[in-house]
Chain A
Amino acid sequence: MKDSTAGGLVQDSPTDPAPTDATPTVLTRPGDAKPARSRVRPGALLHRSWVLFLLRTGIVVVLLGAWQIGVDTKAIDKFFWGEPVGVWQQLVDWVTIGTSQGSLLDQILVTLEEAVLGFVIGSVLGIVCGIALGRIRLLSELFGPFLKAANSIPRIILGSIFTVAFGFGVQSKIILAVVLVFFGVFFNAFQGTREVDRNLIANAQLLGASRWRVTRDVVLPSAFTWILASLHISFGFALIGALVGEILGANQGLGLLIRSSQNNFTMDGVLAGMVLVAVIALTAEALITVLENRLLRWRPPQSHGGAAVK
């Protein structure tokens, strides 16, 4: 049920025109990222997942093989595009010898620290502001237009300002990550708050709940399906914030590693950095899914849909 009278902040945000933004805010529907459940007997399911695994591995082998053969036959110029063997060698070197900036682990930890802190701070701010504006009409009327305007700005550019203002340390990267994470979480929390079943709120009030208890006991858990859906993409945004911040100017981190590889025209280094970032992102995604399943235990298993890609 859409309430067109209150605030008018979010009705059109799923199609919010923000084409200028490097990281447009996507309004994610709850359940988007849930794996599809099927009702086949377990034996067949296990067999099927093995076949799928082998096929997927096959695809990766074929793609990497074609790339490598392309480089070996000079069809692909490895100066511009790198080569799988070179990427692997680069990773091995980083692990065994270390990078020009120190040990590889340190670089990963710095980037991870920036991304995680940015993610946590941005998410908490987004949830608090989203629920507050969703619950208090005056606030949404007052700040709605500002937030919409801020959302349409290409915020990644702010990284330049933050680097100059807050220096080459982790601080400027964390702030950029916070800015990128905040809006996605905010709009989802806001929409989730507005979509709470009116009957549930009425029931809680009649049972004696204060306004604060209604927010805590009804609105928050109910909006959490929306919020969690946004957290999946938000960690990606946090990582982008950290990396872009490092590329713009830093002393340490994976972004700097990628940047110096680029400066040395070592495309294998750039690609090796990408691989590391991908591993971090996938690990974080898995952890968020665990968190989601833990927090949404109460939800009935979904009989339909879900993402096509697990």
Chain B
Amino acid sequence: MAAIELRSATKKFATADGGTYTALKDISLTVEDGEFCAVVGPTGCGKSTTLTLVSGLERASAGAVLVRGEPVTGIDTSTGFVFQQDAVFPWRSVLDNVAAGPTYRGARRSEAHALARDWLRRVGLTGFEDRYPHQLSGGMRKRVALAQTLINQPRVLLMDEPFSALDVQTRAIMSTELLHLWDETKPAVIFVTHDLEEAIALADKVVVLTAGPGTVKAEFRIDLPRPRVVQEIRFDPRFTRLYEQIWEALRSEVQEAYDRTTRVTQVAS
């Protein structure tokens, strides 16, 4: 039984002018338990929409979305979600942010705090328990978000360009740390990114989506050995070969998406 399964899922949104906008069209995708799947595609191809369907934040307009064999009917709290923008609670201290999940799930305050301290240690934030998020750097806030999500030990972990706001070096370090953390509990992961290097460095499988409406264009298995160090893996000749192959599939979609935006701009101007 696959951890995540999308069967020809389609998602349409109503637009402001009364029409419909198709974000995803007949997308089929399977992620096994313990598998790290990266989804890449051009801007606006519905990568993030895929995650909202799996998490239950949105319902599919057609097709089926299953998590561990069960159809998704609403927000599933056994799913973890790391957002692109900051979604940590700015009015809670770091410790209370991380302890939020267990508290919401009925743990006593002392238990939740003990667990939160343990997770802060794992993400290297011991000593920052009493800070507020605005007092932390972008990378540290991301670590808080990771700890906040992972403390619930999700079997399915969804990540929506989680490191896109970070600078290049911090990003590589965070990616390596993410792999360590993932290795401890091995949830099934869908990691959405527009950065192909990041996708290959992290994933077991890279899925390329077409320019919107998104559907799966190609899937690539990444057989690079683990454990990986993200900062160094790009020097592996196999990495370069995979990059070329996948880029070949991605290039035309990126071009297509780019052409569309410039076309719209021309019309607008």
Contacts and interface: CB of A to CB of B under 8 A. Distances in A.
Interface of A: 197, 199-200, 202-210, 213, 217-218, 221-222, 297-300
B164 to A, nearest CB: 14
Interface of B: 55, 57, 75, 77, 79-81, 83, 85-92, 100-101, 104-105, 132-134, 148-149, 152
A297 B90 CA distance: 10
Contacts of B86: 199
Contacts of A209: 100, 104
Interface class of chain A by DSSP:
helix
A2 B207 CA distance: 35
B132 A298 contact: yes
Interface class of chain B by DSSP:
loop
A217 B89 contact: yes
A34 to B, nearest CB: 15
Given A217-B89, A218-B89, 20 more contacts: A199-B85, A199-B86, A199-B87, A202-B57, A202-B81, A204-B100, A204-B104, A206-B57, A207-B100, A207-B149, A208-B104, A208-B105, A208-B152, A209-B100, A210-B104, A217-B100, A221-B91, A298-B90, A298-B134, A300-B134
Contact of A299 (B88, B101, B134): B134
Contacts of B81: 202-203, 206
Contacts of A297: 132
Nearest to B79: A206
Contacts of B87: 197, 199-200, 202-203
A299 B105 CA distance: 27
Contacts of B100: 204, 207, 209, 217
Nearest to B14: A5
Contacts of A206: 55, 57, 75, 77, 79-81
Contact of B83 (A199, A210, A298, A299): A199
Nearest to A295: B91
A208 B101 contact: yes
Contacts of A222: 91
Given A199-B87, A218-B89, A207 B104 contact: yes
B89 A200 contact: yes
B83 A203 contact: yes
A213 B89 CA distance: 13
Given A298-B92, A299-B134, A207 B152 contact: yes
A21 B71 CA distance: 55
A274 B252 CA distance: 75
B114 to A, nearest CB: 18
Which of B83, B87, B148 has most A Cβ within 10 Å?
Answer: B87
A203 B55 CA distance: 11
18 contacts: A197-B87, A199-B83, A199-B86, A199-B87, A200-B89, A202-B57, A202-B81, A203-B89, A204-B104, A205-B75, A206-B80, A207-B104, A208-B101, A213-B104, A221-B89, A298-B91, A298-B133, A300-B134
